[in-house]
Amino acid sequence: PIVDHPRMTVIGTGYLGATHAVCMAALGFDVLGVDVDEGKIEALAEGRTPFFEPGLPEKLREALDSGRLRFTTDFDRAAEFGDIHFVCVGTPQLPGSNAADLRFVDSAFTELARRMTRKALLVGKSTVPIGTASRITAAVQAVSPLGDELELAWNPEFLREGFAVDDTLHPDRLVFGVSSEWAEGQLRAAFRPILDDDTPLVVSDLATAELVKVAANSFLATKISYINAMAEVCEATGADVNQLAVALGYDDRIGPRFLKPGLGFGGGCLPKDIRAFTFRAAELGVGQAVAFLEEVDAINIRRRVRTVDLVRELAGGSLEGVRVAALGAAFKPNSDDVRDAPALDVARMLYLEGASVSVYDPEATENAHRAYPDLDYASSLTEAVTGASVVALLTEWDEFRDADPAALGELVAARHVVDGRHALDADRYRAAGWEYRALGLPAGP
Binding residues for ligand UGA (CB under 6 A):
127, 158-161, 217, 220, 224, 258-260, 262, 264-267, 269-270, 331-332
CB of 65 to ligand UGA, least distance (A): 28
Q: What gap in Å lies between CA 267 and CA 358, rounded to an integer?
A: 22
d(CA 416, CA 428): 13
- Whether 94 contacts 56, CB under 8 Å: no
33 known member of a binding site: no
* Closest to ligand UGA by CB, 221 or 322: 221
Q: For residues 79 and 259, which CB has a smaller minimum distance to ligand UGA in the complex?
A: 259
Core vs surface per residue 197-212: b (16+ CB within 10 A) or e: eeeeeebeebeebbbb
CA dihedral (67, 69, 73, 74) positive or negative: positive
Q: Among 86, 47, 90, 91, which Cα is nearest to 69's?
A: 47
Task: State the amino acid at position 161 in one-letter form.
Answer: E
Nearer residue to ligand UGA within complex by CB, 224 or 299: 224
How far, in Å, are 165, 203, 212, 378, 406 from residue 326 at the CA level? 30, 46, 36, 10, 18
- Least separation in angstroms between CB 217 and ligand UGA: 5
Q: Look at residue 123 and give its three-state secondary structure.
A: strand
Which residue lies nearer to ligand UGA by CB, 100 or 414?
Answer: 100
CB of 231 to ligand UGA, least distance (A): 11
Q: Write down the least CB distance from residue 365 to ligand UGA, Å.
A: 18
- If DSSP codes are grouped into helix, strand and coil, which group holds residue 304? helix
* Nearer of residues 13 and 389 to ligand UGA, judged by Cβ: 13
In one letter, which amino acid is 332?
Answer: K
CB of 93 to ligand UGA, least distance (A): 13
Q: Which is nearer to ligand UGA, 166 or 376 (CB)?
A: 166
269 is catalytic: yes
Residue 125 labeled ligand binder: no
Nearer to ligand UGA, 75 or 265 (CB): 265
Distance CA 48, CA 194 (A): 26
For residue 258, the minimal CB distance to ligand UGA (Å) is: 4
Min CB(91)–ligand UGA separation in Å: 10
Flag whether 332 is marked binding.
yes
Determine the Cα–Cα distance for residues 61 and 22; give it in Å rounded to an integer. Answer: 9
Q: Rounded CA gap, 15 and 196, in Å?
A: 25
Active-site pick, 23, 88, 234, 269: 269
Q: Tell me: is residue 112 an annotated ligand-binding position.
A: no
Nearest-angstrom CA–CA distance, 220 and 339:
18
Distance CA(49)–CA(171), nearest Å, equals 22
**Cα distances (angstroms) measured from residue 164 to each of 15, 171, 186, 231, 243:** 8, 10, 24, 30, 31
Q: Is 223 annotated as a binding residue?
A: no
| Cβ neighbours, 10 Å, residue 338 | 26
Contacts of 276 (CB under 8 A, 6+ apart): 91, 93, 98, 99, 100, 127, 129, 214
**Which positions are catalytic?**
269
Binding residues for substrate: 158-161, 213, 258-262, 266, 332
Binding residues for NAD(+): 35, 40, 91, 127, 161, 272, 339
